[in-house]
Amino acid sequence: SLCYLNGRYLPLEDAQVSPMDRGFLFGDGAYEVIPVYSRRPFRLDEHLARLASTLAAMRLPNPHAEQEWAAMVREVVDRNPWDDQSLYLQVTRGADMRRNHAFPEVVRPSVFLMSEALVTPSRELRESGASAVSAADFRWLRCDLKTTSLLANCLLRQHAVDQGCHETVLFRDGFLTEGSASSIFIVRDGVLLAPPKSHLMLPGITYDVVLELAAVNGLPHRVQEILEDEVRSADEVWMTSSTREVLAITRLDGRPVGEGRPGPVSEQMHAWYQAFKT
Ligand code: PDD
């Protein structure tokens, strides 16, 4: 596939960065994953706005204006063979020939875009629903930033995979935060519930779309703190993300969620999302 690295478009196999890049040494970077449907990036402005806020919190000047980002995204999308893509975009604080935690005096950020074929959940997985395990959310206190420092998320995702499951649902101090790489919603008595945005979770772009679709379609919904017990006894639990869209979780820690099948509200939301995304 064709990627972009620091001013050049080139085959992914030929792209190289310095081992002194701070992304490599420190995980000192920001990223986005943007779904592309029929060659059109979905919610691009929102993804670029979230990138800008991650960069601002990192005190890393945004290397490109929004229009430049949009042009680069378009170029990478156009130069790759798939109609539906998962566009990956990363900015790190660049390379410095001395390893030093403090920022280099002159920062030349590394900018990288690549694309893969978008693989959304298969029909079989959507019909059976996904399986999840739970774990304590031991990440740091800035989970609202989309940084490449993802060791905790990787460990937490592997925890699910080790048990043959798809996702890990995280609880902090008895409250639901999110999944290792997804936002989590629950349904109780026909009401869609979402945890409030805070420093403890990523402000998901799909999360916003889901709440917008609930609002325009008159689905009862509330944003409120959700207790661990409320998740375990929910009628439905879902994960959402740019690549998984809306996916029901039908087993949690080996026990069925609700009836153990994707519930009607998740199926409705999935249908609304499919109609909306193109
Ligand atoms: N992850 N929470 C976490 C920790 C995530 O990593 C993600 C997405 C989400 C959902 O955000 P969005 O709806 O904007 O995709 C929530 C991406 C897909 C990834 O790391 O691959």
Give 147-202 pLDDT, tens digit per residue: 999 999 999 999 999 999 999 999 999 999 999 999 999 999 999 999 999 999 99
User: If you average pLDDT over residues 46-57, what whole number do you get?
Assistant: 98
Atom of ligand 1 nearest to the CA of 243: 18
N-to-C CA span, the chain: 24
Average pLDDT across the chain, whole number:
98
Atom of ligand 1 nearest to the CA of 202: 2
Atom of ligand 1 nearest to the CA of 207: 13
Reported pTM: 0.98
Ligand 1 centroid from CA 240, angstroms: 8
Residue nearest to atom 6 of ligand 1 (CA): 181
Residues 85-102 have pLDDT tens digits of 999 999 999 999 999 999
**Which two three-digit tokens encode residue 247?**
């996916």
Burial string for 7-41 (b: 16+ CB within 10 Å, else e) reads: eeeeeeeebeeeeebbbbbeebbbbbbbbbeeeeb
Q: CB-based burial of residue 259 (10 Å sphere; 0-12 exposed, 13-18 middle, 19+ buried)?
A: exposed
Ligand 1 centroid from CA 30, angstroms: 13
d(CA 230, CA 142): 25
Atom of ligand 1 nearest to the CA of 180: 4
User: Which residues does ligand 1 sit against, CB inside 6 Å?
Assistant: 33, 153, 178, 181-183, 202, 204-207, 240-243
d(CA 238, CA 258): 12
d(CA 170, CA 147): 18
Residue recorded with tokens 């490449």: 148
Stretch (H or E) spanning 241: strand 236-241
> Within a 10 A sphere around the Cβ of 235, how many other Cβ atoms?
17
Nearest to 219 by CA among 244, 194, 249: 194
Q: Which domains are delineated in the chain?
A: 2-117 (3.30.470.10), 123-277 (3.20.10.10)
d(CA 178, CA 200): 9
Ligand 1 centroid from CA 20, angstroms: 27
Ligand 1 centroid from CA 229, angstroms: 24
Mutation test of ligand 1: which of 176, 241, 243, 246 has the most ligand atoms closer than 8 Å to its C-beta?
241
Instruction: Provide the annotated active-site residues.
Output: 146
Tell me the pLDDT band of 278, cut-offs 50, 70 and 90: confident
Residues 245-263 have pLDDT tens digits of 999 999 999 999 999 999 9
pLDDT higher than threshold 90 for residue 36:
yes
